[in-house]
């Protein structure tokens, strides 16, 4: 973890990531829409 977890209801910080097709996705581009973030741990890891 980079920092402490966010409290419930806190806005997510801006970030940039790649989707499953390798396209760049930026959270600021989705402002005003519903977004679901899923963080998947690597295969065969606890969690």
On whether the CB atoms of residues 18 and 24 are closer than 8 A, the answer is: yes
Say which residues have a Cβ less than 8 Å from residue 37's Cβ, sequence separation at least 6.
Answer: 12
For residues 22 and 5, what is the distance between their CA atoms, to the nearest angstrom? Answer: 27
What's the CA gap between 25 and 18, in Å, rounded? 6
pLDDT of residue 29: 94
Task: Kindly report, residue by residue over 8-47, the tens digit of the pLDDT.
Answer: 888 888 889 898 899 999 999 998 898 887 777 677 766 5
CB burial of residue 20 (10 Å; 0-12, 13-18, 19+): exposed
Query: What pLDDT is recorded for position 2?
Result: 66
The pLDDT value recorded for residue 26 is 95
Whole-number pLDDT of residue 47: 57
- DSSP-derived secondary structure letter, 38: -
């Amino acid at each position: 973890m980079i920092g402490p977890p966010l409290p419930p209801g806190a806005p997510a910080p801006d970030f940039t990531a790649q989707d499953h097709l390798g396209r760049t996705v930026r959270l600021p581009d989705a402002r005003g829409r519903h977004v679901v973030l899923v963080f998947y741990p690597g295969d065969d890891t606890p969690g």
